[in-house]
Amino acid sequence: MNFFSHLECGYCAKTYEADKLWNLCTECSKPLLARYDLLSAKEKLSKDELKNREPNLWRYNELLPVRDKKFILSLGEGFSPLFKAARLGKELGFSNLYIKDEGLNPTTSFKARGLSVAISRAYELGVKEVSIPSAGNAAGAMSAYAALAGMKSYVFMPKDVPSPFISECKALGAEVTLIDGLITDCGKAAAEGVKKYGRFDISTLKEPYRIEGKKTMGYELAEQFDWNLPDVIIYPTGGGTGLIGMWKAFDEMEQLGWIDSKRPRMVTVQSTGCAPIVKAFEDNTEFAELWNDAHTIADGLRVPAAVGDFLMLRSLRESNGIAIAVSDEKMLDSANLIGRTQGIFTSPEGGATLAAFLKLREIKWIKETETVVLFNTGSGHKYSHLWESD
């Protein structure tokens, strides 16, 4: 049973047939979103069936775009633990704080979710070579699943990316090209190979299925909170697939009759050194402008322009959410605070969510009685250089 029916442009709503390879919308060059026959799914699939399934994201396989299970490439991604942060909460005087720890995923970040689904789907559709521009974690995850599929993988990363990101891709068999520039420059270099050699482009939101892998974070949260979503979700945002994916998952689950219409307020956190979505949110614009001179220690947040900007901004506004920027220094302080109270070695991106929480409490945007989830999107291990000077 699989309910994937077609693709639809997230901007102009043009539809596309499901079982062909697509990148962006051919009309308006915006991201395509996977659509499902949720009416049939509502009849045939009950949420109670999920209980006894394997603890990985493929437990939602009927609502993912891979038709035939034999093409599923899995390293155990997803179904990450949701910890109640009791000691941290006590220190902060806040009782309902949770951390969803994505650092426990294969390749130590939630990028494994998106790439497991995207590469499985590409594998099912016969792709032999894949290519990705990445700030670090996405490249490692792509390399892992491409290795599992026996595909050739090409990775384009900024040359100042910390060395563990590069080592990981090499060890997983990818061909790595280092670019003197930002992820947007890596995108241009990757695009050349796509055009010249016909490699399939797995860039954030230029490929429709990474977001499907990321949406499973939304399904999991619902399942882990016994189908009552939290009041606030704080998410470190770069390309935005996680934010857009969870927002999509909530809609799907409501149509399936699994949750009601209550939604969390979605919070985007970025670095003060690269905050295009925060700026657009504050300026009340539909799209974000390119951020010049992007710099931050949080490699996953060093994204000066995102093709899904309007989808992120939509979900923030529809949810009565907010977008805020925090300094790199505050990210690290917060990562250390999570570390010494909860025993989790977070990435700076994970630290950013706590820094944002502290700010939002200060301005009373978050109330005492609310339930808040921080997303630690990756482990600190690939960023250990940030702790070396101490």
Ligand X SMILES: *Cc1c(COP(=O)(O)O)cnc(C)c1O
Q: Which residue has the tokens 């570390």?
A: 339
Contacts of 299 (CB under 8 A, 6+ apart): 135, 136, 137, 161, 162, 165, 383
Task: State the nearest-atom distance from the C-beta of 376 to ligand X, in Å.
Answer: 8
36 versus 165: smaller Cβ distance to ligand X:
165
The CA distance from 260 to 122, in Å, is 34
Q: Which residue has the tokens 């993988």?
A: 153
The CA distance from 87 to 335, in Å, is 14
80 versus 241: smaller Cβ distance to ligand X:
241
Task: State the nearest-atom distance from the C-beta of 385 to ligand X, in Å.
Answer: 15
Task: State the nearest-atom distance from the C-beta of 217 to ligand X, in Å.
Answer: 9
Residue 242, φ and ψ in degrees, nearest 5: -65, -45
Task: State the nearest-atom distance from the C-beta of 346 to ligand X, in Å.
Answer: 9
246 versus 372: smaller Cβ distance to ligand X:
246
45 versus 335: smaller Cβ distance to ligand X:
335
The CA distance from 245 to 233, in Å, is 13
The CA distance from 241 to 307, in Å, is 10
Task: State the nearest-atom distance from the C-beta of 132 to ligand X, in Å.
Answer: 12
239 versus 264: smaller Cβ distance to ligand X:
239
41 versus 217: smaller Cβ distance to ligand X:
217
Hey, how many other C-beta atoms are within 10 angstroms of the C-beta on 176?
18
Task: State the nearest-atom distance from the C-beta of 240 to ligand X, in Å.
Answer: 4
The CA distance from 184 to 181, in Å, is 8
Residue ranges binding ligand X (CB under 6 A): 109, 111, 137, 204, 236-242, 300, 347, 349, 377-378
End-to-end CA gap in the chain: 54
Task: State the nearest-atom distance from the C-beta of 340 to ligand X, in Å.
Answer: 20
124 versus 321: smaller Cβ distance to ligand X:
321
Task: State the nearest-atom distance from the C-beta of 17 to ligand X, in Å.
Answer: 27
- What are the E-state strand segments in 290-379? 322-326, 372-376
The dihedral region occupied by 91, where left means phi > 0, alpha psi between -120 and 50, and beta the remainder, is: alpha
Cα 89 from chain centre? 25
Cα 364 from chain centre? 27
Q: Are 202 and 115 in contact (CB under 8 A)?
A: yes
The CA distance from 75 to 59, in Å, is 13
41 versus 146: smaller Cβ distance to ligand X:
146
Q: For residue 242, give the DSSP letter.
A: H
The CA distance from 114 to 105, in Å, is 11
Residue 176, φ and ψ in degrees, nearest 5: -105, 130
216 versus 377: smaller Cβ distance to ligand X:
377
Task: State the nearest-atom distance from the C-beta of 327 to ligand X, in Å.
Answer: 17
Task: State the nearest-atom distance from the C-beta of 216 to ligand X, in Å.
Answer: 13
Contacts of 224 (CB under 8 A, 6+ apart): 82
Task: Name the residue whose CB lies closest to ligand X.
Answer: 300
216 versus 237: smaller Cβ distance to ligand X:
237
